[in-house]
Amino acid sequence: MRNVIELQKKLLPDLLDVMKKRYRILQYLRLRQPVGRRTLARSLDLSERVLRSEVMFLKEQNLVHIGSGGMTLTEGGENLLEGLEEVMKDVSGLSDMESQLASELNVQQAIIVSGNSDRYSWVKKEMGRACVRQMKEQLEPQDVVAVAGGTTLAAVAEMMSPDDNVSSVSFVPARGGLGEKVEIQSNTISSTMAQKAHGNYRLLHVPDQLSDETRESLVLEPGIKELLHLIRQAKMVIHGVGEAETMAARRKTKAETLESLKDKQAVAEAFGYYFDRTGCIVHKENTIGLQLDDLSSNQVVMTVAGGASKAEAITAYMKYRPSDVLITDEGAAQAMLRK
């Protein structure tokens, strides 16, 4: 297959460009259908004239249906996307990039989806879809999954669907709430995943940040204590990585702590820990929930984070603790490999 692709690149380079463009159209439709032509053109940075021509071709091939509510994929379109996925990774060089990134960051497996989520919001859904596929492949009935918060993890929850491997799985929040938008909090994301998977869930009804005295008191409460034990025993942990400054703002961090983070050149945050470029911990918040020390070799730890702007943060965190699986996008991967 790789030899055929290399020949095509030399003899018919335009054919591969057209193939990539049409694949991207089908990919977007799968994530956002039904969708109108104008929205699709704007989201893919294509002129309406070019898109009209491509959509008519896809319709003639019975890959796309055009209805009053917008465009949708046909069953044939869905099947074609599934069959082309690995081929397109070879065509675009993502397969080689995955191997290189896994080696550079010392992770067991790197999965890269096309696009840059800084530029296209729908790319987060592609990362979410890749994460859900990994979950279904690796989870077994009765397993427990601990899920962190954030916009990327919310996209993972949105892409969840029923499957025998996840129907009896329990989803639990990896941490308490940050006092931000409820839809991107760990509690909401874990419950959404459970409902879409037809699984079970438990909620952690405590703020993420507490005084030492309050925290020590709460963790002794029987219900909280039992749930924290369940969270720490999770078979799989799914989390994101944030930029230090952004996460500090979301936590409404005190001014003096913000200055300290800047002085120590913090660039990344995960699980309430802040890291500098070398992967050293420079600050830790007193949070209730999963701590870095709780992660063990018996767990599958999946990191889902993308966007070129997060490249430095992802790299810094991986220097401290490489994950079993890193799911990212092309924008972040290219930036990480350049560095």
What is d(CA 64, CA 183) in angstroms, rounded to the nearest whole number? Answer: 32
* Beta pairing partners, 325: 109, 302
**Which of these, 145, 231, 149, 155, lies nearest to 185 by C-alpha position?**
149
Burial 296-335, CB ≥16 within 10 A → b, else e: eeebbbbbbbbbbebbbbbbbbbbbbbbbbbbbbbbbbbb
Burial 93-104, CB ≥16 within 10 A → b, else e: ebbebbebbbee
Structure tokens at 47: 């002129």
**Which of these, 127, 99, 92, 101, lies nearest to 113 by C-alpha position?**
127
What is d(CA 304, CA 297) in angstroms, rounded to the nearest whole number? Answer: 19
Q: What are phi and psi of 109, to 5 degrees?
A: -145, 130
What is d(CA 40, CA 96) in angstroms, rounded to the nearest whole number? Answer: 29
Q: Looking at residue 118, what is its pLDDT?
A: 94
pTM of the prediction? Answer: 0.89
Q: Would you call 201 helix, strand, or coil by DSSP?
A: strand
The model's pLDDT over 22-74, given as tens digits with 9 standing for 90+, comes to 998 999 999 889 999 898 898 888 898 999 999 999 999 999 999 988 999 99
What is d(CA 241, CA 317) in angstroms, rounded to the nearest whole number? Answer: 8
Look at the domain 93-337 and name its fold. Rossmann fold (3.40.50)
First to last CA, the chain: 31
Which residues, given as ranges, of the chain have pLDDT below 70?
A: 1-13, 177-180, 208-211
Kindly give the pairing relationship between strand 281-284 and strand 273-276: antiparallel
The model's pLDDT over 198-207, given as tens digits with 9 standing for 90+, comes to 999 999 887 7
Listed by start position, the domains of the chain span 1-82, 93-337
The DSSP secondary-structure symbol of 35 reads B
Q: Looking at residue 89, what is its pLDDT?
A: 86
Q: What is the CATH number of domain 1-82?
A: 1.10.10.10
